[in-house]
């Protein structure tokens, strides 16, 4: 192991900094953008020139989305215009816009909201910290609003300071959805009950191309351990935590593991996915292209999404209880305190592996730490200054330790890893 936790050396820090800067210099890398394409090119360069590893870059088409214009007004206040942005995959309103009374749903928990009240209203729903056992995912709140017959959704940032928020509504979502900052939300809440809002949203939707990049560090092995990270992000910031941090971690782990002299039983496959933010589309496309025996040859997927944003890491193990033991022993070997979270969550690419019965985990920092920098994920503040290189270095050491634990498992041991999960892996 290179270096103990809490003691990242200058050379390692400089290398991580260089990689993080290279990705963040390309902007937020929305799926299908030139920034995302340039990031794939950069990753390919690192693999080819630095690691001497060949790779396959596969394009795929997906439903793209772009905001044209948004206008949000409080009609009763002489047309007071408010700052708002559409979130990805928001529907357009009719050209004249939608006039509807405002309804503040607070957190917007479907279990505590009344569908009859929401019908025909523009509902105000609070965005919430997403890395927590208690989180009600945005997709559930939005699906509820659509089912209830709301006219549109306004997502409110809970964090003061003009922090813009985003997050995808997923392709095909039927309602217009805009996001406002905390101060704008306060202004809306200060309006008289039932005040009329006017919302006009114009968006463009049409096919775009994203990519997946796959590389085998030790080709020719019967089985492989997949290390994955998504490359795409959001245009409102640098998508530094989410997920330049994951890409940098997987690359650094690959550099370290590539130096292994002795052959292991199981190989290492790097998967860099595109269009994760558009609904885990890159990993879905990759897995849909694998034959059953190829899926069976994946020992596990170790997916890194949003690290370096808090001191403590959590491995979300998607119901695979045997993976918990692997994490515990890997964390001990790396000298790190790592939490495990067993229930399945469909919040990154590991979910597509898990749903095919492949043991899969997501490594994330800041789980249940709403005060950590992880709260800047999906906001205009997800910039490189929020990423701590020590945290990335710890994630690299953990990832390498997990790979070591899985490297020499034989076929029966790999089968045991797949034992039926303790919780159903249906969609959350």
**Which parts of this chain interact with Zn ion (CB under 5 A)?**
242-243, 305
Q: Give the whole-angstrom CA distance, residue 422 versus residue 424.
A: 7
Q: Which two tokens stand for residue 262?
A: 């002795």
Distance of closest approach, residue 183 Cβ to Zn ion, in angstroms: 27
Task: Kindly state the DSSP code that residue 356 receives in the 8-state scheme.
Answer: T
Distance of closest approach, residue 135 Cβ to Zn ion, in angstroms: 14
Please return the burial class of 179, using the count of CB atoms within 10 Å of its CB with bins 0-12, 13-18 and 19+.
Answer: buried
Q: Give the whole-angstrom CA distance, residue 343 versus residue 91.
A: 32
Q: Based on CB atoms, which residue is closest to Zn ion, 210 or 243?
A: 243
Q: Based on CB atoms, which residue is closest to Zn ion, 243 or 397?
A: 243
Q: Based on CB atoms, which residue is closest to Zn ion, 124 or 367?
A: 367
The total of other beta-carbon atoms located within 10 Å of residue 220's CB is: 7
Burial code (b: 16+ CB inside 10 Å, e: under 16) for 117-135 equals ebeebbbbbbbbbbbeeeb
Distance of closest approach, residue 31 Cβ to Zn ion, in angstroms: 12
Q: Based on CB atoms, which residue is closest to Zn ion, 64 or 233?
A: 233
Q: Based on CB atoms, which residue is closest to Zn ion, 301 or 404?
A: 301
Distance of closest approach, residue 172 Cβ to Zn ion, in angstroms: 21
Q: Give the whole-angstrom CA distance, residue 69 versus residue 91.
A: 12
Q: Give the whole-angstrom CA distance, residue 225 versus residue 235.
A: 32
End-to-end CA distance of the chain: 38
Q: Based on CB atoms, which residue is closest to Zn ion, 243 or 317?
A: 243
Q: Based on CB atoms, which residue is closest to Zn ion, 242 or 404?
A: 242
Distance of closest approach, residue 230 Cβ to Zn ion, in angstroms: 6
Distance of closest approach, residue 223 Cβ to Zn ion, in angstroms: 27
Give 328's contacts (C-beta < 8 A, 6+ positions apart). 338, 340
Distance of closest approach, residue 263 Cβ to Zn ion, in angstroms: 33
Distance of closest approach, residue 16 Cβ to Zn ion, in angstroms: 19
Please return the burial class of 161, using the count of CB atoms within 10 Å of its CB with bins 0-12, 13-18 and 19+.
Answer: exposed
Q: Give the whole-angstrom CA distance, residue 209 versus residue 63.
A: 9
Q: Give the whole-angstrom CA distance, residue 228 versus residue 349.
A: 8
Q: Based on CB atoms, which residue is closest to Zn ion, 242 or 388?
A: 242
Burial code (b: 16+ CB inside 10 Å, e: under 16) for 383-412 equals bbebbbbbbbbbbbbbbbbbbbbbbebeee
Q: H or E stretch including 155?
A: strand 152-156
Distance of closest approach, residue 239 Cβ to Zn ion, in angstroms: 8
Q: Based on CB atoms, which residue is closest to Zn ion, 266 or 303?
A: 303
Q: Note the Cα 100 to chain centre separation in Å.
A: 33
Beta bridge mates, 208: 62
Q: Based on CB atoms, which residue is closest to Zn ion, 238 or 305?
A: 305
Residue with tokens 């001497």: 52
Distance of closest approach, residue 377 Cβ to Zn ion, in angstroms: 7
Distance of closest approach, residue 310 Cβ to Zn ion, in angstroms: 15
Query: What angle, 0 to 180 degrees and rounded to 10, lies between the N-to-C axes of helices 245-258 and 10-24?
Result: 130
Q: H or E stretch including 100?
A: strand 98-104
Q: Based on CB atoms, which residue is closest to Zn ion, 51 or 227?
A: 227
Contact 156, 124 (CB under 8 A): yes
């Amino acid at each position: 192991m290179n270096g103990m936790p809490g003691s990242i050396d200058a050379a390692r820090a400089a290398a991580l900094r260089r990689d993080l800067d290279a990705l963040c210099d390309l902007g937020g890398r929305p799926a299908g953008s030139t920034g995302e394409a340039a990031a794939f090119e950069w990753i390919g360069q690192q693999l080819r020139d630095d690691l001497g590893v060949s790779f396959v870059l596969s394009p795929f088409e997906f439903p793209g989305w772009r905001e044209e214009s948004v206008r949000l007004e409080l009609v009763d206040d002489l047309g007071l215009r408010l700052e708002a942005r559409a979130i990805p995959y928001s529907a357009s309103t009719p050209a004249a816009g939608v006039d509807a009374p405002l309804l503040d749903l607070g957190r917007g928990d479907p279990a505590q909201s009344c569908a009859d009240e929401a019908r025909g209203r523009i509902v105000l729903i609070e965005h919430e910290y997403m890395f927590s056992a208690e989180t009600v995912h945005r997709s559930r709140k939005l699906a509820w609003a659509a089912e209830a017959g709301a006219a549109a959704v306004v997502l409110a940032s809970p964090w003061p300071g003009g922090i813009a928020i985003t997050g995808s509504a997923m392709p095909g979502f039927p309602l217009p959805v805009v996001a406002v900052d905390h101060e704008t939300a306060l202004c809306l809440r200060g309006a008289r009950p039932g005040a009329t809002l006017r919302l006009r949203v114009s968006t463009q939707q049409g096919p775009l191309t994203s990519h997946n990049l796959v590389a085998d560090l030790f080709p020719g092995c019967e089985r492989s351990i997949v290390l994955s990270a998504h490359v795409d992000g959001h245009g409102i910031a640098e998508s530094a935590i989410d997920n330049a941090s994951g890409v940098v971690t997987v690359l650094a782990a690959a550099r370290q593991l590539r130096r292994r002299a002795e052959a292991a039983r199981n190989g290492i496959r790097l998967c860099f996915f595109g269009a994760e933010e558009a609904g885990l589309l890159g990993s879905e496309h990759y897995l849909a292209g694998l034959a059953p025996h190829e899926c069976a040859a994946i020992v596990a997927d170790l997916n890194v999404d949003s690290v370096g944003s808090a001191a403590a890491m959590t491995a979300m193990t998607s119901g695979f209880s045997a993976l918990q033991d692997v994490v515990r022993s890997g964390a001990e070997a790396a000298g790190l305190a790592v939490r495990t979270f067993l229930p399945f969550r469909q919040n990154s690419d590991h979910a597509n592996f898990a749903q095919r019965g492949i043991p899969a985990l997501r490594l994330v920092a800041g789980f249940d730490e709403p005060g950590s920098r992880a709260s800047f994920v999906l906001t205009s503040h997800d910039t490189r200054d929020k990423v701590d290189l020590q945290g990335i270095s710890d994630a690299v050491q953990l990832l390498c330790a997990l790979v070591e634990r899985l490297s020499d498992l034989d076929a029966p041991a790999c089968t045991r890893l797949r034992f039926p999960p303790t919780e159903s892996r249906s969609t959350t």
